A and B are shown apart, each in its own frame.
Chain A
């Protein structure tokens, strides 16, 4: 051990470093599959294709709940009064203000009287219930967040509005949730 030349020492260091690096790579190679398997499996992904919803039967002022990728979405057929009320509200009423036009939609050539948004509160995911008080439409029973008729947050701990899914009207009566391109 005493009489090692420099080149010997260098060769030894290189060997040790290479072996250590290979060991680290091995650990990485073990951890990767263990983490990777946690993700949604192929069936879960394949089943998460866009869904078609028949909205022809939903009367004005009514709301239905649909499921896409294990999350709930409200599809609301707004009355003319609700559209007007949503449009007249001002920035100061909201913490995550967007104009009503951004959240009201309709089929091409049809009336813009539909509002579609996630049914899970943006605070911690509970489903709000319909209350209709003080100008709010939704109240989350879990922690008291409130939303207006088109899903904009007005009070409570929810930081942002209820999110709108990707969607497209395939026809007057058919809404597709999960994609914004027809035919996909």
Chain B
């Protein structure tokens, strides 16, 4: 896969540098001559888009931090004076806020693409796990960033999320106080969230480097799920993938700019335009849209779990909700081993394909439920939807590998591109891959 380097410095300085710090060689091998499967579709451009989004968030974040005051009496005002008085302040602040949403749009597409094409299967388990770690760090970063403008949703979001930790038996209360730096959400909380919000993106960047490294060791998957077999199956990253990723990025940016310049408040919540007030809880606390599916899972657990026919409670409803919510993300770590099918791409898995799309629809529906109150008809729907979410991982993925009859797959990527599908039957799928 990796082969030997084709980097060939021509200038005197290039040779001198290459003998001392071959960084140009590393870049050349990673982003110029790096071979990619020739049949990647548009869904494979989101990795590159995410890389740019991370850089964009870091740059705009550093810039707006120059105008931000992490103090409970001044934070709200400093954000709005940034928007009003600083040259391009409104654009930069919106770019950062909308950028967070678009970052999640891209990451969700990236994750679903991975699930569809089986990108987590051997030998890419570590690649996948690093991705889940990045996702977790993104969520922590986004949550802490949302607290910084110190509006009503900021304060009450911090209140609700840190209360998760009070579900921990015995030490929960203390853990929460240590997270907040006080008996409640206050100046110390704001200050430390600012500090960590500034730190975490750089940790994400570090893990992204590992993620890309792992990717370049195993090579990319592709829509056929058949591994690269010959030179004909691949094309060099530059110019082919570069220009394609650039096109996808610009199209993505058009959508983002539409929100930044025309609907900057659409993805946010109106209550965050009210300064934080510890005396009044807003009528409806909802997290940002990208957390809504998990918020629905949290609230679906409204019952204690105990030993049947006794009064003994093992897990109360609060701890149960928190465990279910964290579990819904933690289960992603196990996906490489939960999926027992030897076929990688859902294109050749007719039954899994149906379940996959059901899972997508269910996830979106969970997001909708996350915005609804946990009462009336919504509560049983949340429970059902949560059950389906976990069932996909715990029941569908392991069992389908045994019962499903996969379609014939092409012998190679080149065959697939040239339309010679199904020339090779799948009597021995493991060997075929």
- What are the interface flags for B49-86 relative to A under an 8 Å C-beta threshold, 1 for contact and 0 otherwise? 00000000001000100110000000000000100111
Q: Are B85 and A43 in contact (CB under 8 A)?
A: yes
Residue of A nearest to B56 (CB): A30
Q: Are A34 and B63 in contact (CB under 8 A)?
A: yes
Q: Are B59 and A34 in contact (CB under 8 A)?
A: yes
Q: Are A42 and B88 in contact (CB under 8 A)?
A: no
Interface membership of B342, Cβ < 8 A = no
Choose among A36, A37, A44 the residue with the greatest number of B CB atoms under 10 Å from its CB: A37
Interface membership of B185, Cβ < 8 A = no
> For the side of the interface on B, what is the size category?
10 to 19
Residue of A nearest to B250 (CB): A26
From A37, A41, A42, B63 is in contact (CB under 8 Å) with: A37
In the complex, which residues of chain B have a beta carbon less than 8 angstroms from the beta carbon of A38?
66
Q: Are A33 and B87 in contact (CB under 8 A)?
A: yes
Least CB distance from B84 to A in Å reads 7
Least CB distance from A23 to B in Å reads 8
Interface membership of A39, Cβ < 8 A = yes
Which residues of chain B (85-112) have a CB below 8 Å from chain A?
85-89, 91-92
Least CB distance from B251 to A in Å reads 14
A168 to B91, CA, bound (A): 40
Least CB distance from A41 to B in Å reads 4
From A23, A37, A44, B89 is in contact (CB under 8 Å) with: A37
Residue of B nearest to A44 (CB): B85
Q: Are B92 and A42 in contact (CB under 8 A)?
A: no
A59 to B132, CA, bound (A): 74
> For the side of the interface on A, what is the size category?
10 to 19
In the complex, which residues of chain A have a beta carbon less than 8 angstroms from the beta carbon of B66?
37-38
Which residues of chain A (83-137) have a CB below 8 Å from chain B?
none
Q: Are B87 and A41 in contact (CB under 8 A)?
A: yes
A34 to B62, CA, bound (A): 10
In the complex, which residues of chain B have a beta carbon less than 8 angstroms from the beta carbon of A42?
84-86
In the complex, which residues of chain B have a beta carbon less than 8 angstroms from the beta carbon of A44?
85
Q: Are B88 and A33 in contact (CB under 8 A)?
A: yes
Q: Are B87 and A39 in contact (CB under 8 A)?
A: yes
A43 to B89, CA, bound (A): 13
Least CB distance from B61 to A in Å reads 12
In the complex, which residues of chain A have a beta carbon less than 8 angstroms from the beta carbon of B67?
37, 41
A37 to B92, CA, bound (A): 9
Residue of B nearest to A26 (CB): B250
In the complex, which residues of chain B have a beta carbon less than 8 angstroms from the beta carbon of A33?
87-88, 91-92
Least CB distance from B67 to A in Å reads 8
Q: Are B88 and A37 in contact (CB under 8 A)?
A: yes
A38 to B84, CA, bound (A): 14
A37 to B85, CA, bound (A): 10
Choose among B59, B84, B85, B91 the residue with the greatest number of A CB atoms under 10 Å from its CB: B85
A140 to B320, CA, bound (A): 69
Which residues of chain A (26-50) have a CB below 8 Å from chain B?
33-34, 36-39, 41-44
A33 to B92, CA, bound (A): 8
In the complex, which residues of chain B have a beta carbon less than 8 angstroms from the beta carbon of A37?
63, 66-67, 86-89, 92
Q: Are B85 and A41 in contact (CB under 8 A)?
A: yes
In the complex, which residues of chain A have a beta carbon less than 8 angstroms from the beta carbon of B63?
34, 37
In the complex, which residues of chain B have a beta carbon less than 8 angstroms from the beta carbon of A43?
81, 85
Least CB distance from A97 to B in Å reads 41
In the complex, which residues of chain A have a beta carbon less than 8 angstroms from the beta carbon of B86?
37, 41-42
Which residues of chain B (40-54) have a CB below 8 Å from chain A?
none
Q: Are B87 and A36 in contact (CB under 8 A)?
A: yes
A36 to B85, CA, bound (A): 12
In the complex, which residues of chain A have a beta carbon less than 8 angstroms from the beta carbon of B85?
41-44
A55 to B59, CA, bound (A): 49
A42 to B87, CA, bound (A): 8
A177 to B66, CA, bound (A): 30
Which residues of chain B (238-278) have a CB below 8 Å from chain A?
246
From B59, B89, B91, B246, A41 is in contact (CB under 8 Å) with: B89
Least CB distance from A32 to B in Å reads 8
Residue of A nearest to B239 (CB): A16
A-contacting residues of B (Cβ < 8 Å)? 59, 63, 66-67, 81, 84-89, 91-92, 246
- 28 interchain pairs (CB within 8 A)? A23-B246, A33-B87, A33-B88, A33-B91, A33-B92, A34-B59, A34-B63, A34-B92, A36-B87, A36-B88, A37-B63, A37-B67, A37-B86, A37-B87, A37-B88, A37-B89, A37-B92, A38-B66, A39-B87, A41-B81, A41-B86, A41-B87, A41-B89, A42-B85, A42-B86, A43-B81, A43-B85, A44-B85
B-contacting residues of A (Cβ < 8 Å)? 23, 33-34, 36-39, 41-44
Closest 10 CB pairs of A and B: A33-B88, A42-B85, A41-B85, A36-B87, A41-B86, A43-B85, A37-B88, A37-B87, A37-B86, A36-B88
Besides A37-B66, A43-B85, 8 more A-B contacts (Cβ < 8 Å) are A33-B91, A34-B92, A37-B63, A37-B89, A41-B81, A41-B85, A42-B84, A42-B85
